[in-house]
A and B are shown apart, each in its own frame.
Chain A
């Protein structure tokens, strides 16, 4: 009889444990749900890279650089060019254009976005400026000791061409500029179509606070595909 009584109390002990565990989990959820909801936004910002989880081992600090093969001589099927078309917005760190100027023997890849890693590879376009082909001010800069060493040799009237995957854009140098790096006048959006190229003022050693460059006005805009086709 006593054995039966003891045996029957074991499931009670087991059930008590399970019930207590469920109760505690419930209490934890109830107590933590509100703080979690509040913290979720911050957690999503701080740990937003859930899909990629890249450990920064390549020395690029997580930056994904994409090199594209951009033709500077349009292919035969692209002989037909159009005045209007669709621009393709690049991703940060993507090479999306080639900047050429025969007058100073300049040919440099242009990356979307600006960082030390990208500046080592070519010229960089500020993401606050407009994508080449869109209306406004496209601002491109590079180091004076590398790609833009001869930028100060550009003179008004020289031609600058930008080749992209979606078209060719030709500009003419209209003005030489000099400004202090804190002066944002030349890098701000503009009403007219222009290209602003600048670099640091060449100095014997060390960096200069002064910037030197050129403003170019748009001469021609040639897209490989008409707007409708690009949309489709």
Chain B
């Protein structure tokens, strides 16, 4: 009966500590991995988003030739894969600025269109000269409209993570507020974890091996609870069923989700492994204790 009286509080504390560990670790992952510039840049690099975005542009301008009569080369010779890479990186940094600091109105991807403007204008002028077309106000409007349309399409394609849409719907402001609350939640979770940990240490006072057992149990179970679903999602390739099939958006979204799942899974596997090491140490210490007691008898 006395044993149960000492045993139950430890179970209860471990039970609480398991969920607090999960909560704290998930908060840390969101704060330091999920919503960071580095995460998006890594995904962009791993998934070769610049290559995919450029291929999408090629396909678009080639298909557009059928309805406009403007050769795709007019646009494609003025925009390179490197330009698309810069555009993608610019979209990421702009989004992160909006997310972490309020930087005013407008979501702007920085891309240099000087070469494109020269290429399109030259083509229109050469065509007009060759076909005796008057270069009047309507002609200039047509050149301008074509340029604006092409630039809008290039910027839209460079925004592979669709941050522009997120911005238009005011989600950056909502996410920023959510992150502020998140920081407070994380502080509370850290304090609670520390308090529970101290209580557990006090409960196991004078019995270090038993403390190792309860900590090992906490780490192992909390690790398993998250890493197993993560491994399942990665093993079944769940995110590849993403419904949007535009190559660059598909790669960006599935790449990001898989990256997050892998990072989360890895973090919790490490936690689980730590727990298992604690449990092994506990077993070894128990065995050593038994051996010492037998020798003493």
| Binary contact track A29-71/B, C-beta < 8 Å → 1, others 0 | 0000000000000000111111011111101111100000000
**Contact between A20 and B65 (Cβ–Cβ < 8 Å)?**
no
Query: Can you identify 10 A-B contacts, CB atoms within 8 angstroms?
Result: A10-B286, A17-B217, A21-B221, A25-B225, A54-B245, A56-B246, A62-B245, A145-B69, A206-B69, A206-B145
Choose among B241, B247, B289 the residue that contacts A61 (Cβ–Cβ < 8 A): B247
User: With contacts A21-B221, A53-B240 known, what are 7 further pairs, Cβ within 8 A?
Assistant: A20-B14, A20-B217, A24-B225, A60-B245, A203-B69, A204-B69, A204-B131
Question: Which B residues touch A13, using CB under 8 A?
Answer: 213
| Binary contact track B261-296/A, C-beta < 8 Å → 1, others 0 | 000000000000000000000000010011001100
| Binary contact track B151-164/A, C-beta < 8 Å → 1, others 0 | 00000000000000
Task: Known A55-B250, A119-B66; judge A20-B239 contact (CB<8 A).
Answer: no
Question: Which B residues touch A27, using CB under 8 A?
Answer: 19
Choose among B66, B239, B240, B289 the residue that contacts A143 (Cβ–Cβ < 8 A): B66
Which segment, of B30-38, B55-63, B167-175, faces chain A? B55-63
Question: Which A residues touch B297, using CB under 8 A?
Answer: 2
Contacting residues of chain B (200-257) with chain A, CB-CB under 8 angstroms: 213, 217, 220-221, 224-225, 237-243, 245-247, 250
| A19 nearest CB neighbor, chain B only | B11
Tell me, rounded to whole Å, the shortest Cβ–Cβ distance linking A5 to chain B.
Answer: 9
| A58 nearest CB neighbor, chain B only | B247
Question: Which A residues touch B220, using CB under 8 A?
Answer: 17
Task: Known A10-B286, A56-B246; judge A16-B217 contact (CB<8 A).
Answer: yes
Q: Is A75 an interface residue (CB 8 A)?
A: no
Interface centre among A60, A117, A207 (most CB of B within 10 A): A207
Q: Is B92 an interface residue (CB 8 A)?
A: no
- The count of chain B contact residues (Cβ–Cβ below 8 Å) is 45
**Contact between A59 and B59 (Cβ–Cβ < 8 Å)?**
yes
Q: How many Å lie between the Cα of A119 and that of B65 in the bound state?
A: 12
Question: Which B residues touch A183, using CB under 8 A?
Answer: none
Q: How many Å lie between the Cα of A194 and that of B226 in the bound state?
A: 60
Tell me, rounded to whole Å, the shortest Cβ–Cβ distance linking B264 to chain A.
Answer: 15
Question: Which B residues touch A150, using CB under 8 A?
Answer: none
A-side interface residues toward B, CB under 8 Å?
Answer: 2-3, 6-7, 10, 13, 16-17, 20-21, 23-25, 27-28, 45-50, 52-57, 59-63, 116-117, 119-120, 143-146, 200, 203-207
Q: How many Å lie between the Cα of A17 and that of B279 in the bound state?
A: 10
Q: How many Å lie between the Cα of A16 and that of B216 in the bound state?
A: 12
Interface centre among B213, B220, B237, B247 (most CB of A within 10 A): B247
**Contact between A143 and B67 (Cβ–Cβ < 8 Å)?**
yes
Tell me, rounded to whole Å, the shortest Cβ–Cβ distance linking A222 to chain B.
Answer: 33
Q: How many Å lie between the Cα of A56 and that of B247 in the bound state?
A: 5
Q: Which 5 A-B pairs have the closest CB atoms?
A: A62-B245, A143-B66, A47-B241, A116-B63, A49-B241
Q: How many Å lie between the Cα of A56 and that of B241 in the bound state?
A: 11
**Contact between B55 and A24 (Cβ–Cβ < 8 Å)?**
no
**Contact between B69 and A146 (Cβ–Cβ < 8 Å)?**
no
Q: Is B190 an interface residue (CB 8 A)?
A: no
Choose among B133, B145, B243 the residue that contacts A204 (Cβ–Cβ < 8 A): B133
Q: Is B68 an interface residue (CB 8 A)?
A: yes
| A115 nearest CB neighbor, chain B only | B63
**Contact between A206 and B70 (Cβ–Cβ < 8 Å)?**
yes
Question: Which A residues touch B15, using CB under 8 A?
Answer: 20, 23-24
Choose among A28, A120, A144 the residue that contacts B225 (Cβ–Cβ < 8 A): A28
Question: Which B residues touch A16, using CB under 8 A?
Answer: 11, 217
Tell me, rounded to whole Å, the shortest Cβ–Cβ distance linking B127 to chain A.
Answer: 6
Q: How many Å lie between the Cα of A3 and that of B296 in the bound state?
A: 12
**Contact between A205 and B225 (Cβ–Cβ < 8 Å)?**
no
**Contact between A49 and B243 (Cβ–Cβ < 8 Å)?**
yes
**Contact between A46 and B242 (Cβ–Cβ < 8 Å)?**
yes
Question: Which A residues touch B133, using CB under 8 A?
Answer: 204
**Contact between B245 and A20 (Cβ–Cβ < 8 Å)?**
no
Q: How many Å lie between the Cα of A163 and that of B217 in the bound state?
A: 72
Q: How many Å lie between the Cα of A13 and that of B69 in the bound state?
A: 77
Q: How many Å lie between the Cα of A119 and that of B63 in the bound state?
A: 8
Question: Which B residues touch A20, using CB under 8 A?
Answer: 11, 14-15, 18, 217, 221
Tell me, rounded to whole Å, the shortest Cβ–Cβ distance linking B16 to chain A.
Answer: 11
Question: Which B residues touch A53, using CB under 8 A?
Answer: 237, 240-241
Question: Which B residues touch A203, using CB under 8 A?
Answer: 69
**Contact between B68 and A21 (Cβ–Cβ < 8 Å)?**
no
**Contact between A55 and B240 (Cβ–Cβ < 8 Å)?**
yes
Task: Known A3-B293, A16-B217, A48-B241; judge A57-B247 contact (CB<8 A).
Answer: yes
